[in-house]
Structure formats: C-alpha cells, structure tokens
Amino acid sequence: MADRYDYSNAARREKMFSIIRSAVLWIAAVGGAILLAFLLVHFGLAKTTADASMTPTLEEGDRILVDRFRYKLFKPSRNDVIVYCQDSDKDRKDAFYSVKRVIGLPGETVQIKNGSVYINGEEMTEIVNVDRMMISGLATYEVKLGDDEYFVLGDARNSSEDSRYATIGNVKKSDIIGYAWIRLNKLSFVNNLNRK
C-alpha cells in the first residue's frame, strides 16, 4: 500500500511540475512577444505618409513602413529612399517627416547642370524614371557635402522641395529617421518602385 501511495504522489508531483513548466514557458513566450513588439515599434519600425514630392515612385498619401534600425548598422547609400526629420526635435509628436531619395554622399560635390545631376564632376546615371530638372537651386554651383551630410531630391524633380532649397539644404545623418522600406497600402518594397 505504501509503495502505491508513494508512486501516486510522485506521479502527481511530476504532473504538477509539467503544468508549472508549461505555464512558465507560455508566460515567457507571451512576454517575449510583447517585448519584441515594443522594441520594434519604438526602436526598429515607424510609419509615415508620403507627400507628392516622390511621385511617380510614391503617390501622395502612400503609407510607408520605415526601418529605423538599418542606419544604425550601415550608412545610407546613393538612391536609397530615406525618411528624415525636417525639425531639429525628432521626438516631438508634431515633427515633420519627409521622404526623399539620397543623391549625394558625405564628402562629395553635387551640381545640377542642364537638368542632370553631377557627382564630383561626372553625370549621375538615374536608376529611376524622373524628369529633367528645370530648377537647379543651390546646386547651380557645386555643393560640397560635409562628413555627415547627404544631398536629397524628390522624384518629382520639378515640384519637390529638397536639398536644392535653402529651407531644406543638406540633410545631416543625425536627422535621418530611417530607410523607407515597405509601401503598405499597395504592398511593395519602396526601393524597387519606378526602376528603369
């Protein structure tokens, strides 16, 4: 009798430990998922809306998912579509985010002549379909970029307010929010749109 009683208690104890172990693993998985979602929302991903300055690549009102982590590891590359803050205080709720294409990289010179972009004196080959520029703005003469500055243009080259204008100028690396990753309303990768 005593043996059966001991066996029964051991079986109950094992079943109890199994239930507790399952509950702890479930709680850890749910907690981990919540933590991951929090980190993605607050440190990895953001959402913004495109304006007309990126037409025909993006239409006004297109919702964009922004990868905020990429540029913590890598530097922006030429032709990346980026999201940057036009306000010095990026953390303000009413800060204005802008979506543009990187044209000039740190240390380069940028000039716009005869409607085309010249990087360090050589004409840049456009990888997307854009109109020739009618306005050169600040880039009528060579613009020398600092060690942390980028020259950006909207794809609507004749109606975009971008680095050609004193109100925007060169974009500092610290003002870049992230990489325009996915267009949400018509699901596609932003940097694959409007390619030649």
Question: What are the residue numbers of the active site?
Answer: 53, 100
Contact 147, 107 (CB under 8 A): yes
Q: In what order do the strands lie in the sheet with 122-123?
A: 122-123, 116-119, 109-113, 143-144
Cβ neighbors of 50 (< 8 A, separation 6 or more) are 58, 59, 60, 61, 62, 64, 99
- Which residues have CB under 8 Å from 116's CB, separation 6+? 123, 124, 132, 133
Eight-class DSSP state of 43: I
Q: Which tokens sit at 125?
A: 């080959």
Our measurement of the distance from residue 82's CA atom to the centroid of its chain's CA atoms, rounded to an integer in Å, reads 6
